[in-house]
Amino acid sequence: MRITTCLTTLLLVAFAQGAHAQSPYEKFELGVHYTTLRVSEKSDQDSGVGARFTYNLNQYLGVEAEVNALPQSREGGGQNEVQGFFGARAGIRKKNYGLFVKARPGYNRFYLLGVTPGPNAFEQGHTRFVLDLGGVVEYYPNHNLALRLDVGNTMIRYKPGDFFYQRLDQPMFVNKEFSHNLQITLGFAFRF
């Protein structure tokens, strides 16, 4: 009786592990990446690093949260921008790759953005609503690793009177209330 119970238990465990290994996706992903943002309203390219957490609801749909720190720009200064996104990713996933679209609202905190009327202490920063729409390509070299490329339109909603400094004595006022900005992100994620 004990031998039968042991064999049955071993078969069930082996079957469960085999079924798990055949799963086309993992529930969780934790990734790091490098990102660049072309801020059209100040004609500048900002870049930095970030982290992303994804929870896959099924093979086709996942929700994710992302935070990016973009510390330097042409204007100089120690702290430049911080971004945060939370939203959905949907698409198809095959054995070695995935193609997705994403829609993620969030915020962009600018430390080199001035407002009218002031005061303008840049170390305090000003937060603006953003919407990140775009596409994602993933490559899976193995079951627990994903290489990921995001290309998106990060739409920033400015307020009237917002400006960037071209030079310290020359403000560059924002022309559009809602601007379109190319953002490209490249990184990898551990899947578990």
Domain ranges, ordered by start, for the chain:
24-191
Which tops the pLDDT comparison, 168 or 5? Answer: 168
pLDDT at site 34: 98
pLDDT at site 85: 98
User: Model confidence at 14, in pLDDT bands (50, 70, 90)?
Assistant: very low
pLDDT at site 112: 79
Q: What is the pLDDT of residues 148-168, one digit of tens each?
A: 999 999 999 999 888 887 666
Give the C-alpha separation, 103 to 85, whole Å: 9
**What CATH number does the domain located at 24-191 have?**
2.40.160.20
pLDDT at site 15: 45
Query: What one-character-per-residue DSSP string does 30-78 give?
Result: EEEEEEEEEEGGGTEEEEEEEEEEEEESSSSEEEEEEEEEEEE-TT--S
Q: What is the pLDDT of residues 74-115, one digit of tens each?
A: 555 556 899 999 999 999 999 999 999 999 999 999 887 878
CA 72, 75, 78, 81 torsion-angle sign: negative
**Pair of tokens at residue 165:** 């400094």
Q: Can the peptide bond before residue 117 be classed as cis, meaning omega within 30 degrees of 0? A: yes
Question: Quick check: 29 and 56 in contact, CB under 8 A?
Answer: yes
Residue 120 has pLDDT above 80, yes or no: no
Backbone torsions φ then ψ of 99, nearest 5 degrees: -125, 125
**Pair of tokens at residue 144:** 């627990």
